[in-house]
Structure 1
């Protein structure tokens, strides 16, 4: 019997998409249904009838290619580009130029569907080439029967599903490699040779998005003995923001080693951000400190960023003064960033962090940890004798525990410490 063109109500939709095999639907594309494919009833593996649709050309096929279609059976003799009502002879010039034009168009409009091609037995070489072009399998018209077609459909659907899974796996690995490269750019090795300061850092991406954010940090010592440290956060999450964070970090290191500091440095970084950002809505917060060669005082600049936390022996940890800080980079043209002088003392630890650490929730409510909660948390860990990397690890872990799981934002924390000897 000829392939029927079923009425729309006979083709119920499914929610599982083209990969489902619970109820298979086959779309047959051939330009002469009356004298074309004639097969008996086609049954799936469970004995259920496979639903059939037919299209005379690619235009009709595109209209019938709804999500519940599992597989497409294309007659390789179909003219490429033929519209509704086109005959077997139309488009012969195009077919001669590209014998797989129709197949390529089907693959383009149905990238997630299994595709079978139908041809004559004496055209085996062309059939094999069709598989190399992208079809899942080929069938010979003269040998076709219901059982063979049923098996071919099931095989093609499963093979397409495996191909998609393999593609997603390869894409995931590629993304992981790209993220690793970006993370290496965001998290550099500190340049502290000759300094008596100790350095520790922790970085935890917000993996709920499976994308990088724009947190970054760096620490360098200039030839005059000054130690410069910074931490920053590009708004948004993803490779574009991470790449911008890498650019800002590298620019900061280069400008710092060239002798810029404070407001001049931040103004130049704002120029870099304005040129490199993908859209005008992107901005970045930044905290910079420059610690004098004797280690007892430092200059502090804040560009819309949380103030650092300082701890000293015998005193509770507290936030450094943050009044009169400047705006985030990229918000206001010709902005200024006052540099504030702060006294550190002989023995101290200075913690720089991004807002991912303080914006985690506490329990099931809407309350967040906040800066006050972070200060209390750090003081508890200090009272337990923690310092250096242990202090950072315990703090990030507790913030995650209080949040009830992974933090939604990236977290970067840097700790610089000095012990007067």
Structure 2
């Protein structure tokens, strides 16, 4: 096996380095082969007789190291190095390059190193130990470069992820201290961000608007689109757009920014009246929220059953988004969430809350989530309920969820002098691996 067999993350013996000897002279090629054998360098050695053959080999697969004669039929001197370096550009990490020269002087070898070679050897003056040491050092330098590039990509990816997380998970803009805002986000498998987004903003008249949405799919493109829509939604609210007009304007942003016509967004918008006597619920193909009511120690969770459901944003069918009004008195909170929570699988965890018996592929479902929320309210109270629910869903699933999931709870304490709960939970893979 050669190193052109791409690393697929499997454990086991590492493939031998693929070394390509570029040498037109049969005698010199045999000599190099014998020297490598005497040096006991464990490599997968192949041969090309010209720069053109070597370039074709580079196109076919990964080459870890090139051993190049500077006197080839189609390239002489440094030209061979330049051409092979150009042919290696498609490789994530260019192969190591060791030059063979027939000149005993150092000038040509030094020039070769300056042109990009890792080392140079003089024919007739090179023994097994020198050749073996040169190849080992060149291959080690290539391995170190690959590790550095992988580390850099990881750091860049982490920075981009953090930037998207900041855009997706903003700080709520709510001045009324009696309003509670609790948010939580669980990235999907492998920690990849998805298109879930949410936000809460208090308007100038005291109305508190909240939104939770889900871009179809998950990955960096969906995350970026979710961040764009979250920013657009906040801008619309801050500029005084009436709640009933926000979704139409947001759909125009979606149609402009999405990568294809098949991309759509489900969304739930909740408007809490300035006098806290009612909430309006707008649904765009999204799951209906739940309503939490009652005093501390006796909070009850129930489904909000809307009179109508609007279409998802970006779906080219007629339809509009009408508010479903719920009249309220005393303390309350509206719990919104994305479908990643209710799609959590429960196989191997017994009879979880709300789970129907006999299902082939049991999932938490809306009834299960409602029962789970009620259990957490009864056992731990209102404070911190979002984080506790997310942790419990993750435990029932047995690890990271397949899809990302978000939860947003917005409510009113019932008294202007009672401060509401504010919390934000982002499930970090290192911390939550222990949960």
Whether TM exceeds 0.5 here: the answer is yes
Give distance in 1, aligned partners of 2:165 and 2:142. Answer: 34
TM-score w.r.t. length of structure 2: 0.81
**SS of 2:266 mapped into structure 1:** strand
Q: How far apart are residue 63 of structure 1 and its match?
A: 4.3
User: In structure 2, do the counterparts of structure 1 residues 139 and 304 end up closer, same or farther at CA, with 3 Å as the change threshold?
Assistant: farther
Aligned to 2:155, which of 137, 149, 173? 173
User: In structure 2, do the counterparts of structure 1 residues 363 and 160 end up closer, same or farther at CA, with 3 Å as the change threshold?
Assistant: same
Give distance in 1, aligned partners of 2:44 and 2:138. Answer: 16
Q: Bigger relative contact order, structure 1 or 2, given CA contacts below 8 A and separation 6+?
A: 2
Conservation of the 8 A alpha-carbon contact between 2:2 and 2:17: no
Conservation of the 8 A alpha-carbon contact between 1:13 and 1:67: no
Q: How many residues align?
A: 392
Does residue 275 of the first structure (1) align with residue 223 of the second (2)? no
Conservation of the 8 A alpha-carbon contact between 1:76 and 1:103: no
Residue in 2 that maps onto 1:246: 227
Give distance in 2, aligned partners of 1:68 and 1:104. Answer: 13
User: In structure 2, do the counterparts of structure 1 residues 194 and 348 end up closer, same or farther at CA, with 3 Å as the change threshold?
Assistant: closer
In the TM superposition, 1:312-331 aligns within 5 A as 312-313=293-294, 314=298, 316-331=300-315
Residue in 2 that maps onto 1:6: none
Give distance in 2, aligned partners of 1:299 and 1:194. Answer: 19
Conservation of the 8 A alpha-carbon contact between 1:24 and 1:44: no
Aligned to 1:358, which of 320, 342, 355? 342
Q: How far apart are residue 15 of structure 1 and its match?
A: 8.0
Residue in 2 that maps onto 1:237: 218
Residue in 2 that maps onto 1:146: 128
User: In structure 2, do the counterparts of structure 1 residues 318 and 138 end up closer, same or farther at CA, with 3 Å as the change threshold?
Assistant: farther
TM-score w.r.t. length of structure 1: 0.84
Structure 1: runs of 5+ lacking an equivalent: 1-11, 79-86
Which range moves more in the overlay, 313-322 or 353-362?
Answer: 313-322
Give distance in 1, aligned partners of 2:112 and 2:388. Answer: 62
In the TM superposition, 1:198-237 aligns within 5 A as 198-206=180-188, 208-237=189-218
RMSD (CA atoms)? 2.9
Q: How far apart are residue 418 of structure 1 and its match?
A: 1.4
Give distance in 1, aligned partners of 2:406 and 2:186. Answer: 7
Q: How far apart are residue 413 of structure 1 and its match?
A: 1.2
User: In structure 2, do the counterparts of structure 1 residues 45 and 356 end up closer, same or farther at CA, with 3 Å as the change threshold?
Assistant: farther
Does residue 190 of the first structure (1) align with residue 190 of the second (2)? no
Does residue 296 of the first structure (1) align with residue 277 of the second (2)? yes
User: In structure 2, do the counterparts of structure 1 residues 379 and 117 end up closer, same or farther at CA, with 3 Å as the change threshold?
Assistant: same
- The Cα offsets for residues 337-390 of structure 1, whole Å up to 9 and x where unpaired, read as 1111112321112111111111111124621101100000011111114213x1
Residue in 2 that maps onto 1:3: none
Residue in 2 that maps onto 1:367: 362
Aligned to 2:410, which of 410, 413, 416? 416
